[in-house]
Structure 1
Amino acid sequence: MIDEGHGFTSHPKVCKKYIEIIADTKGNRTYLTRKCRDGLFWDQYKTTCRRPEDVNCPNGTKT
């Protein structure tokens, strides 16, 4: 999801990673793969890293 030129989405394969999306005024997008701190997984609904037991990660690995 992108809001005002900036957003985040889940990584398609790894629960502890997420993708930051930055759009410029011309509509060009930059995609940056980010990693949660050790022991945390990305929560797309809360758009933050959280404890694994609090996160649903249906398409990724939890390793």
Structure 2
Amino acid sequence: MANLPPINSFVKVIKALTEKDPRLGQTGTVIQYSAHGMVYVHFPDMPPVQGIFFNLHHLQIIES
């Protein structure tokens, strides 16, 4: 899967399904991928290893 951000890289949510999505504009850490190329992102306010799946096009790599 081309252009997936590396595991442990920092990404910013630049697009969400709704403008009121609380994760829009937040930065998180990539912790895994789904078989379909979705990116699983952990945010600082979450328990360890928990995260949310995002479409690659909804993320911007901040630091890899």
TM range (shorter): 0.3 to 0.5
Larger RCO, structures 1/2 (Cα 8 Å, 6+ apart): 2
- TM-score, reference length from structure 1: 0.35
Name whichever structure is richer in strand by fraction: 1
- TM-score, reference length from structure 2: 0.34
Largest Rg, 1 or 2 = 1
